[in-house]
Amino acid sequence: MLDSIRARFLIWSFIVFSAFASGLGMFLYERQKVESLNTVDRFLRVKSRTLAGLIEVYKDGRIHHELIEGEEGFRRGKTVYDILESGHYFSVFFEDGRLLAASPSLGRFRLPLSIERVRLDGSYYETTTGPGGEPIRVFTEKTTITSPHGEKGYTFIIQTAESLEEVYGFLHSLRNTILYSLPLVIGLFIAGGVVILWTSLRPLRHFSAEVSKITRQSLNRRLREERVSRELRELAGTFNRTLDSIEKAFNIERRFISDASHELKTPVSVIKSYCEIYMRRQRPGEEYREALSVIYEHTKRMDSIIEKLLLLSRLEEGRLPMKMERLSLREVVEKALSLLRPSIEVKAMGVRVMADGECYVNADREYLVEVFVNIIDNAVKYSENGGEIGITIRRDGDQARVDVEDKGVGIPQDEVERIFQRFYRVETTGSGQRGTGLGLSIAKEIIEAHRGRIGVNSRLGAGSTFSVYLPLG
C-alpha cells in the first residue's frame, strides 16, 4: 500500500499538516495567553497610578487619601472595591510595610508582598491565589509622593490585583475550540487532498489505460503525445520511442523465424521429393548415387545454416567463451586468406594486402579469422572472375582498422544498412543461390563482442569496402 503515490501523499500530508495545524493552534493559544495577561497588567498599572493620584501629602507631613469608602472620593456609592471577593483588589502600604489602606473587597485577606523585591526592582507582577481561592494577578509598585513644594515626601507600596478567572475562562474555551476544530480542519484538508490527488492522477490513469491497449498484436499503436497532459508528454515520447525499438526488434525476430523456416524448408523439400521419387521404383545404382549426392549437398547446406544459427544465438546471448590473446591483424588476415585460397584461385582473384606497420588487437583468434573469412569470401563471391581485392591494415586513432575493398557488384544504397541483418541478401546481386545471409550478422556480432564495429561503403556496380574497427591491443 505504501508504494502507491496516493497512500504516500496522504500519509505525508496528514503528518505534515497535523504537525503544522497543531503547531499553529499552540502558537495562537500561547500568543493569546500572553496578550490577555498583558492587557490585565496594563490595566493594573493604570489602576496603580490612579490610586497614587488619590494620595496627598501636605507640607506638615499629614497624609490625606480618598482610597476607601467613607472618604470623599467614594461617597457616590459602592464600587467593585467595596464588594467582598469581587475580584478587584488593592492595598497601599508605607515603605516599612505598615498598611495605609486596603480595598474592602479583600476582607481580612492580604495580598502577598515582598518588600525586599519591591525595594530592589521598583515594581513586579505575580500570579497567585486571591481571597476566594481564585487565581489573581497582582501588580506591586513603589511610588514616592511629596507635598506640593517638596517639603515632605513618603514612599508608598501600592498593590493592585485583578481576578484572572475571566481570562482563564476565555483561554480555556479558546483551547477547547482549537482542540475540537483541529480534527475537523485536518479532516477537511485530507479530503481536499484526496479530491485534488484524484483529479491530478486522472491523466496518469488515462495514460495507463492507453498503454494497456498496446499488445503484441497492436505493437504499431502509439500514444498521442498531444493528447496527454504536459507533464506526461516527455514520458509518452520516451514510451513511444521504446515502442519503436521494441516493434523493430519484434519485426526482425518475426522475420527471422519466417526466414529461418523458409531457408530450412527449401533443402528439406528437395530432400523429401528426391526420396519420394527414388522410393517409387527400383533404379540403377548410378542414379541413386547422383540422388544421394544432391541430398548430401542440401543436407550440408542445412547443416551450415543450423551451425550458423546456433553460433549467432550463442553470440547474442554472450554465452560463447572467448580465448582472448594479443594477435597480429596481419596474421589473422593471412590465415583467413589461406582458408579461402581454393575459392580465390577458382575465380583467379588478385589479392593485395597492405599493412602500415604491425597492428595488434586483443581477440579470440578463431572468431576473428571467421570475421575476415566471411568478409573476404563475400568480396570474392560478389566480384567478377579475375577481379581485385585490396586489404589495408592500419591504425586509425586509438583503433586498429582493416579495410577490405573489392570492385564487385556493389550494394544498392538503400540496402547497405540491412545487409547485417540475419538472412538478408540483396536480391539484385543474384546472390540468392549461394550465401545464407548469415555471414555478415555473425561477423558483426563477433566484432561487437570485441568492442569494435563494422561499417560499409558501397556503390552499386563499382564495388564495396568493408571496414572493421577494433580497439588496439
Binding stretches for ligand ADP (CB under 6 A): 374, 378-379, 382, 406, 408-411, 419, 424-426, 429, 431, 435-441, 464
Q: How far is the CB of 288 from ligand ADP (least distance, A)?
A: 31
Task: State how far the alpha carbon of 391 is from the alpha carbons of 329, 334, 403, in Å.
Answer: 11, 10, 6
Rounded to the nearest whole angstrom, what is the least distance from the CB of residue 345 to ligand ADP in the complex?
A: 18
Per DSSP, the residues of 181-242 read HHHHHHHHHHHHHHHHHHHHTHHHHHHHHHHHT--GGGTT----GGGS-HHHHHHHHHHHHH
The residue type found at 284 is P
Cα–Cα distance for residue pair 269/158, rounded to 1 Å: 125
> Which is nearer to ligand ADP, 437 or 452 (by Cβ)?
437
Q: How many residues does the chain have?
A: 473
Beta strand 388-396 with 350-355: parallel, antiparallel or unpaired?
parallel
Helix (H, G, I), strand (E, B) or coil at 354: strand
Q: Of 44 and 411, which has the nearer Cβ to ligand ADP? A: 411
Residue among 60 and 427 whose Cβ is closer to ligand ADP: 427
Cell 502509439, residue located: 222
Judged by beta carbon, residue 111 or residue 411, the one nearer ligand ADP is: 411
**Judged by CB, which is closer to ligand ADP: 118, or 404?**
404
Task: Compute the least distance from the CB of residue 417 to ligand ADP, in Å.
Answer: 11
CA distance 416 to 413: 5
Give 364 or 406: the residue with its C-beta nearer to ligand ADP: 406
CB of 427 to ligand ADP, least distance (A): 8
Q: How far is the CB of 382 from ligand ADP (least distance, A)?
A: 3
| DSSP-assigned states of every residue in 308-338 | HHHHHHHHHHT-S---EEEEEHHHHHHHHHH
Q: Which one, 51 or 368, has the nearer CB to ligand ADP?
A: 368
Listed residue (237, 209, 241, 243) closest to 224, CA to CA:
237
- Do 128 and 37 contact (CB within 8 A), yes or no? no
Half-sphere exposure of 461 (CA within 13 A, CB side): 0
Nearest to 438 by CA among 293, 315, 267: 315
Specify the residue, 103 or 378, whose C-beta has the smaller distance to ligand ADP.
378
Please state whether 435 falls in left (phi above 0), alpha (psi between -120 and 50) or beta. Answer: beta
Closest CB 307 distance from ligand ADP, rounded Å: 13
Q: At its nearest, how many Å lie between ligand ADP and the CB of residue 231?
A: 46
| Nearer Cβ to ligand ADP (103/429) | 429
* Cβ 425 vs Cβ 437: under 8 Å: yes
When CB distances to ligand ADP are compared, the closest residue is: 435
Q: Nearest Cα to 304, choosing from 437, 183, 175?
A: 437
Beta carbon of residue 452, minimum distance to ligand ADP (angstroms, whole number): 17
Nearer to ligand ADP, 340 or 409 (CB): 409
Question: What does the alpha-carbon distance between residue 36 and residue 162 come to, in Å, rounded to a whole number?
Answer: 12
Give the nearest distance from C-beta 423 to ligand ADP in angstroms: 8
Torsion from C-alpha of 280, 284, 286, 291, nearest 10 degrees: 0
Q: Which residues pair with 196 in a beta bridge?
A: none
User: Cβ of 146: how many Cβ atoms within 10 Å?
Assistant: 13
**Residue 456 C-beta: closest distance to ligand ADP, Å:** 8
**Looking at beta carbons only, is 46 or 310 nearer to ligand ADP?**
310
What amino acid is encoded at 419 in this protein?
I
SS3 call for 150 = coil
- Rounded to a whole number of angstroms, the minimum distance from the CB of residue 265 to ligand ADP is 17
